[in-house]
Every structure is written in structure tokens, then in C-alpha cells.
Amino acid sequence: MTRAIVTGAGRGLGRAIALAFAAEGVEVTAVSRTAADLESLDGCRALPCDVTDPALALPETDILIVSAGTNVPEPFLEVAPDSFDLVLDLNLRAAFFTAQAVARGMAARGHGSIVFVSSQMGHVGAANRTVYCASKHALEGLTKALAVELAPTGVRVNAVAPTYIKTPMTAPFLADDAFRASVEAAIPLGRIGEPADVTGAVLFLCSDAARLITGTSLVVDGGYTAQ
């Protein structure tokens, strides 16, 4: 049976991705810092742990989805070192070393698929998102470099870059009617995404249908970055 690890699986996109893989018959290990968030993930093995822990140990897997992430929107001139470190530690450093932890086994077995959950903000810039954009642009670069380095071992590495998706992380921002209207106006397809819009892209990138795809970023943004 195919095995998958999904980080950030306690809520939001990570949760939706874990459930989508489980529905496809994949043996899913769902990773989250908060054990209670994993209790209702039917069909998944719960693994409560902190992906920022340097001693992180993960089981062998065929698929790794790195979905753990955060955002602290602030004006550039008000960003404090603590906020910078929080976002970069989870969005980039933890992603890097989580991938490293499982890639050794994948490379030894000669196959594997790693997908980083990036963002449309890894392709463009936005006010009050300097740290988040920096982390996601770096993640996009990591995707390309890692894909090239691991290709000879049979391991594919890609990213999926969503627009604004209805999740607990975006809920406080989208609750502002003016902000929500501005987001919808910026998306040519005219709507904010649902988690299901992203899970299909992730399943595709990990499937045999994508066996010649590595080092790319599948942008699921309703046309946001096409303008």
C-alpha cells in the first residue's frame, strides 16, 4: 500500500489533503503539533509532533506533503525579529529539514514524491506580506533545487501554490468584508478557493499521471498571478 505523510494535518489544507489521500486508499500518517486536532481524522494514523524540532523522526514513506505553515501579516517597518523567526522557522526551515528527514529513505528505495504547499505569494509580492512572501519565494527555490538534486534517485519534488483558500488561517482576514471583496476582485475567476480545489492538484502531482513532472509549481489561483 502507498504511504503518505502530511504535515500540518490538524486543520486547513493539511487536513483536507490527509483526508483526500485516505479516501484514495493511501496509508496516511497525519502530523500536527496539537494532538486534539488529529483525533477526528478518520482513516489516518495520528502522529503528534513539532516539525520545527531538530530531532524530528518520521516513518518511511512514499509521499511527503509539507503543509505546515503560518502567516503574520504586518507592515514591513513594524516586523520584529520574533515574527520573522516564527514564519521562516515553520514555512522554510521546518520544510527543509522535514524533507531531508524522509528523502534519505526515498532516495535509498529509488522512488518518492515530495510536494511543498507554497502559495501564490511565492510568485508575486504584496503589502504587509514581506516575511510570508520571502518564506514562500524561498520554498519555491527549494523545490527547484531539490528536484534537480534528487532526480537521479527517482524522487520527484514539486510545489502547489494556492490563492486565498477558506481555511482557519485565512478566516480572520476574510471576515473583513472590504478585504474579502478586494481578494475576490483580484481573482479573475471571481471566487475564493475551497480546500477541494487544492487537494486535486496535490493528488495529481503525486500520481503516475505526473511521473515526468518535477521541479515545478502548480499554481491554483484562479488566475491571480496571470495578470
Helix (H, G, I), strand (E, B) or coil at 220: strand
φ, ψ of residue 48 in degrees (nearest 5)? -70, 125
In degrees and rounded to multiples of 5, residue 92 shows phi and psi of: -120, -60
164 is an active site residue: no
- Which candidate in 136, 144, 164, 166 is catalytic? 136
The Cα–Cα gap between 28 and 177 comes to: 37
Dihedral sign for Cα 75, 77, 83, 84, please.
Answer: positive
- Rounded distance, CA 160 to CA 221, Å? 10
| Alpha-carbon torsion angle 211, 99, 14, 197, nearest 10 | -30
Give me 53's grid cell: 524540532
Burial class from Cβ neighbours inside 10 Å (0-12, 13-18, 19+) for residue 33 reads middle
Catalytic residue among 132, 144, 166, 224: 132
Residue at grid coordinates 520544510? 95
Question: CB–CB of 28/21 below 8 Å?
Answer: yes
Active site residue 136: yes
Active site residue ranges: 132, 136
